[in-house]
A and B are shown apart, each in its own frame.
Chain A
Amino acid sequence: MTELKSDPAAVFAVEDDLLPPVNETRRFFRVLFSRKIVVFGAAIIFITIVCALFANGIAPFEPNKQDLKNVLAAPDFTHWLGTDAIGRDLLSRIIHGTRVALLIGVGTVVISAILGSVIGLVAGYASGFLQAIIMRATDALMALPPIMLALLISAILGGGVRGVMIAVAVSLLPGYIRLIAGQVLSLKENDYIMAERSMGASRTRIMFRHLLPNCMSPLIVQMTMMMGLAILTEASLSFLSLGIIPPTPAWGAMVYDGYRFLLRNPLLSIAPGLSIMLLVFAFNMVGDGLRDALDPRLRGAL
């Protein structure tokens, strides 16, 4: 014991290890699923994935099979949700619509997360001119509503799955760049990064061994939240006829198509819209749960 520690509190400060140890993985899942709403969200996502994978088996009809003798049919036992203006089965189209929603939701988020992380890491770690350029450009893009950026790009690329993916991914990019750059900027000044640097570690090593792993938690949370936004953006583009091109079943476009027949069969608009909302809601709830479970400040708390 050293004489320097004259303060009794410092001599026997209560250490955290006095308390029983907590299994981190178990704690993660317990916190994640502690709220019923998160379980509900996870269930919705699971069902959506199953629908997307086995759409052909689950859907009662071909999504694009027209039945012109049976247009705008009311819901009955053959067509549970009725048929649209050219006699296609609504339920089957909704089930097949999970494919576009998930493809766009997951695809764009992964693309923009990877691109955004790399650019953000560079922007946060580089100094001077390069950083200024990237950050100014990001600021500028952030001033633009994401939906407008997506609309512009999608309009020019002419829509379609590929066009929409590029458009949505670009519209999400500034958010990631700012998140990662911000994280890196604050982490960079941390003592342990300073120590690592003073020991002569290379830039790449510091970037990928230390900075990136520390950005993972906020990145995962952001990605889950962004899936909801990506799905919403795609649906809006499709609704405005600047997104997925018919006849590929996309929920946003289906809402638009049903709009004209609201009085005949309101389900044509309501059902696909509800599907969008449920899936976006599910991703947001799971994102919330992940944030709680990954937040180091909350470790050990309720």
Chain B
Amino acid sequence: MVAYIVRRMLHACVVVLLVSILIFIIIRLLPGDPIIMLLNQSTGVSFTAEQIEDLRHQFGLDKPIPVQYKDWILDVLRGDFGISIINRYNIGAEIAKKLPVTLCLGLTSFVIGLIIGPILGVISAVRRGKAVDTLVTIAANIGITAPQFWVGILLIFLFGLKLGWLPIYGYTLPWEDFVMSVKQSVMPVVVLAMFPVASSARQMRSSMIEVMHEDYIRTAWAKGLKEKAVIIRHAVKNSLIPVVTLQGLLLRNIVGGSVIVETVFVIPGMGKFMIDSMLAHDYTVVQACAFIMILVVVISNLIVDLSYGWLDPRIRYD
């Protein structure tokens, strides 16, 4: 078991390093020099060639790319994300402010998806063909296909503008003002959780239906167990295995969705930070944001992987 955990963690580290290299290369090799961008912004001031060289040197952009990457990753490992080329703030400090916001929203959505999705799936599978099943299936299909930004706008229109029940933008951390935080979280969390709830429900429904035809379920019936015991004790745990596998994908989706949700609801989190930096061509910031988000995805995937052993005893020893 310990060996397994260690191996998974090493694998996670390799993935993080590889992605960071990929992102670094994508950002450096494609057109769009951040220094030129910076100069384009400062209209009216003329720069001499020496000054440009100076700036390049200041940000280490005159070195070969592998060296640039080495310097960058070593700094990152020390917790230093550098300084924004364009706005000159400390990136690490900015991230420390914005990451908790995204984590709060994302985790809430993830937990909601993990709990409500499978419950809906079980209900749907057990009442297969009944009205509840049709309702859940249609809702799940809408949840999977509706564009997040659009649902966000619909919610804003309905609950924010028309009914005036909920604030339409901003975010407060729960330990600063809990009531406000909950009010501001409702709509973003609904949008972020929509896809995870829907996919988990669908997956749970189909794996429940499959599991209910397994031989060991027939054995459970033959033992004289009541319907509730057959479903809860025997079917649910086995049906959860593919749903747990799916969670890695859903986590990715939540992290990706935070970019959209934070833009729609004007929430000062990592997603909005990244989009704003992209629009400003502030690539050192984009790089740092991407790195942090990958870290979040990889760490949560690791947790999902490890929880697998509890569900499926057959994989514990490999």
Contact = CB atoms under 8 A, between A and B. Distances in A.
Q: Real complex partners, A and B?
A: yes
Interface of A: 136-137, 139-148, 151-153, 155-158, 228, 232, 235-236, 239-242, 252, 255-256, 259, 262-263, 266, 269-270, 273-274, 276-277, 280-281, 284-285
Nearest to B277: A155
Interface residues of B, number: 46
B144 A263 contact: no
Contact of B153 (A145, A158, A262): A262
Contacts of B14: 136
Contacts, number: 135
Interface stretch (B26-34, B53-61, B62-70, B306-314): B26-34
A236 B147 contact: yes
A212 to B, nearest CB: 26
A47 B134 CA distance: 26
A256 B156 CA distance: 13
Nearest to A233: B256
B105 interface: no
Contact of A136 (B18, B31, B145, B290): B18
Nearest to B20: A140
B73 to A, nearest CB: 14
B150 A141 contact: no
A158 B15 CA distance: 28
A259 B15 contact: no
Chain B binding surface, main DSSP class: helix
Contacts of B290: 144, 148, 152
A143 B147 contact: no
A263 B161 contact: yes
Contacts of A140: 15, 18-19, 22
Given A145-B293, A156-B32, A240-B275, A270 B145 contact: no
A144 B19 contact: yes
Contacts of A236: 147-149, 260
Interface string B283-298: 0001000100110011
B301 interface: yes
A148 B32 contact: no
A289 B21 CA distance: 40
B10 interface: no
A141 B19 contact: yes
Interface string B136-161: 00000110111111100110110001
Contacts of B275: 151, 240, 242
Nearest to B275: A240
Contacts of B22: 137, 140-141
A281 B198 CA distance: 13
